Amino acid sequence: MDLFKINKDACIGCYACVRVCPVKAIEVKAEENVAKILPNRCIGCGSCKNICPVDAIDYHESIIETKEILNSGGKIAAICAPSISGEFVDITDYRKFVQMIKALGFTYVCEVSIGVDLVAQKYQELFENFNGKYYLSTCCPVVVQLVEKFHPDLVSNLAPIISPMVATAKIVRNTYGSDVKVVYIGPCIANKNEALKYSDDGKIDSVLTFVELRQLFKEQNINEGMLEYSEFDKPIGYKGSLYPISNGLLQAVDISEDLLTGEVITAEGRNSVLESVREFELSIETIKRHFNLFYCDGCIMGPGTSRGGRPYIRRSITIDYVKKRLKTFDKSEWDKAVLKHSTLNFATTFTPNDQRLQEPSGEKVKEILKVIGKEFIKSESGCGACGYDSCNDFAVAVSKGLAHTDMCLNFTLKNRQEYIKNLKGTNEKLAKTQEALRDSEKIAKVEQLAAKDAMETVDAMLQKLPSAVVIADKKLKIVHSNQSFIDLLGDDALEISDIIPGLIGADLKTLLPYNIYNQFSYALQNGEDVMNRDLSYKEGLLNVSVFTIKRGNVVGAILRDMYAPEVRKEEVIKRVTEVIDKNLAMVQEIGFLLGEGASETEQMLNSILKTYKDGPRR
């Protein structure tokens, strides 16, 4: 059973629970940075719940299961811890308190003080029959779990006696029958786990804290003003009512705590109990005393009590309550009850449940200290913000997987400062980059406008050219063309161009015959230009040149109608010039051999060429 749970949504990561946990049963993972209670290591002390500043820690609630028991029928007994006197000070008379509990549906309401009386007698017998072995008392379930889990070598030194809660359950069943269901009402949360251990006549069917009992009263609108008096059901306890005060167990049977003659030392409170167990383990042969231990400052200050209670006020109220009860106490009746129930078996055993983690090597600890920048710090030093007493303890916890380095406040602040510094540098670089980007955008915009102007200029120039110009992509789709190209294609193309300007996207294969568009395909596939090819087109002749613009992707072409007058004249001049250039050497050689006749022939050709260039005179 998970006795305690942390509400992740409510947790603020203050590590107060880590700091107060006596056995470090709380881990914090780096990926979540939220504390988590480890049930196997938890000893149920409730320190974490008491310390949490935002009430983010809840314990296992038993209200629902108690209601189910009350609704199940049969005989049900409530056994109340003697610390009720220090808790329910708002109820004017204990007899009203008893009747309020019965109003919830309980058949019997009994005092745990009778169980304390009988358990105290067993301790008296154990101590008086000393045979060289010293014991730790086992009334406090937190102490028992502390020893079982973190001092397993001391398990054999745990007094083999059941707690007053379990003893009272046995007494109630011995009085009212074995079929009685028992609900314990007390100040201790750890009793909820302790109750799981026992069955048969010592079985505890449910455990309610005082806080939970108050909640039941509130839910069912039960208050003392509406009820009559009712006494506790028998058997009635004696000085066991002093049990909520740490040495009350000893006083119940007059076990001496005299400094000179006493054989028992009482320790209460977190720090005192932790230290006493350590010293018992290390130096019992020097101490030579039994230890009577209570983790809280007496049960009057248990974690299941209402917050805000003051220990010395509760102590005084409890003592006054016992004095008042003893004025009308029937000791003969008590003697009969003790005699009747003293034959019950109050013995028990305990089992080691070692939850200690392997200690890391010194090198590992040094490595972690170096990571957090504390390699030169004294081992006992530390600010405690991480929840550990020293930096060394923190490094050990990190190596055990219970903590992570970011829990170190100093380390986190340094990282934060470094992060802020880096972030500032990054922001400055980003600002410069953004400025450069804006400048680039301005330049790009200017260049875009210039490119647009250039494109428009080129387009205007292409449109003025008498030759047909077309640009196509690798799929032979028209990317651009001029008006001369459209005119060359004929009336159908002119009509299409009215809808699709420039025939952009049109397929050359549907506009030109194979012998022409094949030149485009050749240039695209081979990356070679096709220059001055004379190709038949319709009833005329075209001079076609195809050239690469983007190899394998875009080609351009110039197509000239050889029958157009201006083209014909230009072409004749060009080709005669080519003939003269190509044959000049031959003409000169012939002139050398033939003399003036050949020279005159050359002059004649040049004259024809000049005349053709000049054109007819008017």
Residues 553 and 579 in one domain: no
Residue 429, pLDDT score: 87
Query: Residue 441 pLDDT more than 90?
Result: no
Residues 20 and 155 in one domain: no
Q: What are 553-606's pLDDT values in tens digits? A: 999 999 988 887 766 666 556 665 665 565 555 555 554 554 444 455 555 555
The C-alpha atoms of residue 73 and residue 71 are separated, in whole angstroms, by: 6
Residues 50 and 152 in one domain: no
The C-alpha atoms of residue 158 and residue 139 are separated, in whole angstroms, by: 10
The boundaries of the domain holding residue 24 are 1-60
Residues 557 and 582 in one domain: no
- Pick the more confident residue, 400 or 52: 52
- Mean pLDDT rounded to a whole number for the chain: 87
Q: What sign for the dihedral angle of Cα 157, 301, 38, 373?
A: negative
Query: Residue 31 pLDDT more than 60?
Result: yes
Query: Residue 177 pLDDT more than 50?
Result: yes
Task: Answer whether residue 133 is part of any domain.
Answer: yes
Residue 541, pLDDT score: 87
CATH number (domain holding residue 49): 3.30.70.20
The C-alpha atoms of residue 596 and residue 578 are separated, in whole angstroms, by: 23
Q: What are 443-476's pLDDT values in tens digits? A: 888 878 886 777 777 778 778 888 899 999 999 9
Task: Answer whether residue 384 is part of any domain.
Answer: no
Query: Residue 396 pLDDT more than 90?
Result: no
Least confident of 41-50, 86-95, 442-451, 516-525: 442-451
Residues 165 and 176 in one domain: yes
Environment class of 65 (CB within 10 Å of its CB; exposed 0-12, middle 13-18, buried 19+): middle
Share of the chain above pLDDT 90, in %: 55
- Pick the more confident residue, 381 or 14: 14
Residue 52: which of 38, 29, 65, 35 has the closest Cα? 35
One-character DSSP codes across 353-420: ---PPPPPPHHHHHHHHHHTT-TTS-TT----TTSSSSHHHHHHHHHHTS--GGG-HHHHHHHHHHHH
The C-alpha atoms of residue 55 and residue 584 are separated, in whole angstroms, by: 110
Residues 519 and 609 in one domain: no
Q: What is the mean pLDDT of residues 135-145?
A: 97
Residues 52 and 79 in one domain: no
Q: How confident is the model at residue 103 (pLDDT cuts 50, 70, 90)?
A: very high
3-state DSSP assignment of residue 80? strand
Task: Answer whether residue 360 is part of any domain.
Answer: no
pTM of the prediction?
0.69
Where a domain ends, among 341, 369, 391?
A: 341
Cβ–Cβ under 8 Å, residues 21 and 277: no
Residue 107, pLDDT score: 97
Number of domains, the chain: 4
Residue 84, pLDDT score: 93
Q: What are 123-137's pLDDT values in tens digits? A: 999 999 999 999 999
Cβ–Cβ under 8 Å, residues 249 and 81: no
Residue 70, pLDDT score: 96
Give, in degrees to the nearest 5, the angle at Cα 59 between 140 and 45.
30
Q: Specify the DSSP class assigned to residue 158.
A: B
Task: Answer whether residue 406 is part of any domain.
Answer: no
Residues 134 and 273 in one domain: yes
Residue 406, pLDDT score: 76
| Residues facing 108 on adjacent strands | 77
Q: How confident is the model at residue 229 (pLDDT cuts 50, 70, 90)?
A: very high
Q: How confident is the model at residue 102 (pLDDT cuts 50, 70, 90)?
A: very high
**Distance between start and end Cα atoms, the chain:** 121
The C-alpha atoms of residue 354 and residue 151 are separated, in whole angstroms, by: 8
Where a domain ends, among 563, 587, 603?
A: 563
Residue 305, pLDDT score: 94
Query: Residue 419 pLDDT more than 70?
Result: no
Task: Answer whether residue 192 is part of any domain.
Answer: yes
Residue 487, pLDDT score: 87
Residue 618, pLDDT score: 39
Residue 597, pLDDT score: 46
Cβ–Cβ under 8 Å, residues 43 and 23: yes
Query: Residue 548 pLDDT more than 70?
Result: yes
CATH number (domain holding residue 542): 3.30.450.20
Residue 386: which of 55, 33, 47 has the closest Cα? 33
